[in-house]
Amino acid sequence: MENDNSRDLSFFLKGGDKGILLIHGITGTPSEMNYLGKALNKAGFTVFCNTLPGHCSTLNELKKVTWEQLAEACVKDLRTLKKQCRQVFCGGLSMGALMSVHLAKLYPDEISGIVALAPTIFYDGWALHKGKTLMEMVWHIPFLRNSINIREDWPYGLKDERARAFIERFYKKAKAGAEDNDKVLLFGSPFFPLASLYEHHQLTKVVLKEIPQVDKPILIIHAREDDMTSPKNAEYLFKNIASKDKSLVILEDSYHMITIDKEKDKVAAEVINFLNKIN
């Protein structure tokens, strides 16, 4: 369960016989799930969060990864966790939330519930980079999508000013051809390769067809002021998923990165409560 790369931030926290697979966002890193993972483990759950293929590395490696490869890796991690636990849940942030829905569609007998944190179906947040509005016009052209990198911009998904300032120093100075790998491990890529956004889009098209067929219990948490994806994303998922046991929690003091933002303790408490009530 441990990655061969000693600098990798993947984590496996052994707890009870209820386990949850946490999936970080695209271009992200397990560090964005670390606070939640530790809280869940302290509450008695076994927690596994692995680095997605191509992540915590260079932009060139990130661009090569397809959504199918991401899904294959998550399936492998799910099976690893299943060997350790009687009952398994799946949860993720942003793209990781959609991947969790996808896994629940593929393995309904193995996954007891879904945790969807800031699910990203549409890029429609209030701070959306202007370059992203043009992405659908060019990302179908392989040369262009492999050439264009969109720099992460203020507010970096964080309403917490102290946390934002911590990563802003790295993000502002970063250059596309010279990543600081130690910082990438901690904060994720300072750039969104258009190729990665395209793969996210491809996964989204699949998940949109699957949502009406998924009936596992689900907890959806989204920030009202999400800078990247508006609450319409969470509302769409809540309305269209077939689950009878479903709840939607709207946060009032966070942006997109809700697992590390100002209401991270509330997020953890909501997830713990959700997992505890399902037997």
Helix axes 67-82, 194-210, angle to 10 degrees: 60
Q: Is 161 helix (H, G, I), strand (E, B) or coil?
A: helix
| pLDDT on residue 180 | 46
Higher pLDDT, 115 or 142: 115
More confident residue, 20 or 148: 20
- The pLDDT, as a whole number, for residue 131 is 55
Sign of CA dihedral 192, 195, 196, 202: positive
Question: ∠ at Cα 103 (100, 105), nearest 5°?
Answer: 115
Pairing of strands 11-13, 46-49: antiparallel
Per-residue confidence band for 188, with pLDDT thresholds at 50, 70 and 90: low
Model confidence at 145: pLDDT above 70: no
Mean per-residue pLDDT, 121-150: 70
Domains of the chain, each with CATH number or no CATH: 11-277 (3.40.50.1820)
Confidence at 4, pLDDT banded by 50, 70, 90 = very low
The answer to whether the beta carbons of residues 169 and 190 sit under 8 Å apart is no
pLDDT tens string 92-101: 999 999 999 9
Q: What is the pLDDT of residue 3?
A: 41
> Helical H runs in the chain?
31-42, 59-64, 67-82, 95-106, 135-138, 142-145, 161-173, 181-187, 194-210, 232-240, 264-277
26 pLDDT more than 50: yes
Q: Give the chain's end-to-end CA distance (angstroms, integer).
A: 26
Average pLDDT score, the chain: 87
Torsions phi, psi for 110 (to 5 deg): -105, -20
Which phi and psi angles does 128 have, rounded to 5°?
-55, 130
Instruction: Classify residue 212 by its DSSP letter.
Output: G
Token reading at 206: 């699949």
* Position 148 confidence tier, pLDDT thresholds 50, 70, 90: confident
Backbone angles phi and psi of 74, in degrees to 5: -65, -35
Per-residue pLDDT, averaged over 222-227, amounts to: 96
C-alpha span between 195 and 234 (Å, rounded): 24
How crowded is the C-beta side of 8, counted as CA atoms within 13 Å? 16
